[in-house]
A and B are shown apart, each in its own frame.
Chain A
Amino acid sequence: MLVAGLLLGACVEPPTTPLDTPAVLDIDDVELPEVAATSVERRAQQVTVRVRSLGCEQFGLGSGFVLADGVVVTNRHVIEQPREVTVNTWDGRSFAAEVTGVATDSDLALLRLEDPGDLPVAELRTVPVERGEGVFAVGYPGGGPAQVSPGRVLGMVDGTVLGEPAEVIRVEVEIAQGSSGGPLVDRDGLVVGVVFAIEVDAGIGLAVPVETLLERLDAGELVAPGAC
């Protein structure tokens, strides 16, 4: 028995394979600051423009956002009876724009930039917003610098009293005159609405849902703007 035990003990050799090297650091565990260059806020700011419209009787300032092919979406009321429309970007570039159409039953208008260059473009979300969802309103309140305001969707409300064909988005977010036409974007940076009004007493923002915009774009239900 003693001999067998001794023999058995003699069979145990040290392992020759190298030890498993422990992970030095799991990159997912490292707390890195948000990379601003790719942040949703920055991207949203880059696609949002300031719209200046010289009309027959008024000088209008508002916001808008860029789509593919130099198309800019804004509010109809920002560019009433336009004589000269200019678009300013957040970083100081200016573009002459032409009003290509306004919606007859919604506060929406489309502009086209003469030479959009490499302007980044916004992406539209096809899925409706949900109550409580986090969003950002981007625009140029007061005609001032670009501003990104976080908030959340309060719900949908009948838009017919406001001249809209369907429900509009009620959103708890800081907006002001000059924000009109700016995009309401979700946490992924997709446009879910077009800011167009404020409930003055409650300070609640209202936005035309992007579905209404898509319907107008698809159906081509846009007309020429009014002339002087």
Chain B
Amino acid sequence: MLVVLLLLAVVGAVTATVVAVDQRDVAAEWEERALELEAQRDAIDEQRAEVADQLEVTRDALVTSERDVDELEDRVRALADEKARAEDTATTVQVERDVFIELSEVISDATGALDSCVSQLFDLQAASVEAFNRANAGQDVDIDALNARATDVTRFCNQARTAAANAEAAADRLLGS
């Protein structure tokens, strides 16, 4: 009985020793693993901080870029507006030029017709004076020819007056008065 108890005690002591040694090894492994994980955590924290810094820098750069783009776009819009308005003005000037050219042609035609009318009236006046003098001198006068000429001059001058009236109407229309 004593021997059995002794054997059991020995076995227990040996087992306890083996387990203690094993536990010490496991504890050492745990410690090693803990140190490894701590280093890994520190590395990850460092990496996170680095990436966060980079992101912040990138965000700031993006904000700056956006602001720059916005400012440039504002400038582009302003320049485009100036260009468009200049084109508006050019178009308006072109229209005014066309109007003045058209008006100038109409007025030129009317003025020419009126000038010709005046010339013909002067000629008619001279012919009439000559006819009057011939009649006073007892010479023959071709009254029919004189009357026909007066009719022609009157018709021509009426046409000139119509051209002048048309020019006036065109001026009213084109200049919007």
Enumerate chain A interface residues (CB-CB to B < 8 A).
3, 6-7, 9-10, 12-16, 18-19, 21-22, 24-25, 30-37, 42, 50, 52, 54, 59, 61, 84, 86, 88-92, 94, 143-146
Q: Of B15-23, B122-130, B143-151, which stretch is located at the interface?
A: B15-23
Tally B residues with Cβ within 8 Å of A.
41
Query: What's the Cα separation between A149 and B79 when bound, in Å?
Result: 21
A52 touches B88 (CB 8 A): yes
Contacts of A12 in B (CB 8 A): 26
Q: 17 A–B contact pairs at CB < 8 A? A: A14-B26, A16-B33, A21-B44, A33-B62, A33-B66, A52-B87, A54-B95, A88-B84, A88-B87, A91-B80, A92-B76, A143-B85, A143-B88, A145-B78, A145-B80, A146-B77, A146-B80
CB of B169 within 8 Å of the partner chain: no
CB of B48 within 8 Å of the partner chain: yes
B44 touches A92 (CB 8 A): no
* Beta-carbon contacts under 8 Å, B49-99 to A: 51-52, 55, 59, 62-63, 66, 69-70, 73, 76-81, 83-85, 87-88, 91-92, 95
A145 touches B48 (CB 8 A): no
Contacts of A146 in B (CB 8 A): 77, 80
Query: What's the Cα separation between A10 and B15 when bound, in Å?
Result: 11
Shortest beta-carbon distance from A43 to chain B in Å = 13
A-B contact count (CB 8 A): 104
CB of B119 within 8 Å of the partner chain: no
Contacts of B78 in A (CB 8 A): 145
**Known interface pairs A10-B19, A14-B32, A92-B84; 16 further A-B residue pairs with C-beta atoms within 8 A, sorted by A's residue number:** A3-B19, A7-B15, A9-B19, A10-B22, A14-B29, A24-B48, A31-B59, A35-B66, A42-B73, A52-B88, A86-B87, A86-B91, A88-B83, A92-B80, A94-B87, A143-B85
Q: Within the complex, which residue of A3, A15, A24, A32 is in contact with B62, where a contact is CB–CB below 8 Å?
A: A32
B59 touches A32 (CB 8 A): yes
Query: What's the Cα separation between A24 and B50 when bound, in Å?
Result: 10
Tell me if B's interface is mostly helix, strand, loop or mixed.
helix
Contacts of A24 in B (CB 8 A): 44, 47-48, 51-52
Contacts of A37 in B (CB 8 A): 69
A145 touches B40 (CB 8 A): no
Query: What's the Cα separation between A18 and B95 when bound, in Å?
Result: 82
CB of B132 within 8 Å of the partner chain: no
CB of B30 within 8 Å of the partner chain: yes
Contacts A9-B19, A19-B40, A143-B88 given; does A14 touch B30 at CB 8 Å: yes
Query: What's the Cα separation between A144 and B80 when bound, in Å?
Result: 9
B55 touches A25 (CB 8 A): yes
Query: What's the Cα separation between A59 and B63 when bound, in Å?
Result: 42
A143 touches B91 (CB 8 A): no
7 smallest beta-carbon distances between A and B, as pairs: A92-B80, A6-B19, A14-B33, A145-B77, A145-B81, A88-B84, A10-B22
Q: Within the complex, which residue of A13, A25, A88, A143 is in contact with B51, where a contact is CB–CB below 8 Å?
A: A25
Query: What's the Cα separation between A144 and B77 when bound, in Å?
Result: 9
CB of B12 within 8 Å of the partner chain: yes
Query: What's the Cα separation between A13 and B83 when bound, in Å?
Result: 79
Max chain B C-beta neighbours (<10 A), residue from A10, A52, A144: A10
B30 nearest CB neighbor, chain A only: A14
Query: What's the Cα separation between A61 and B12 when bound, in Å?
Result: 105
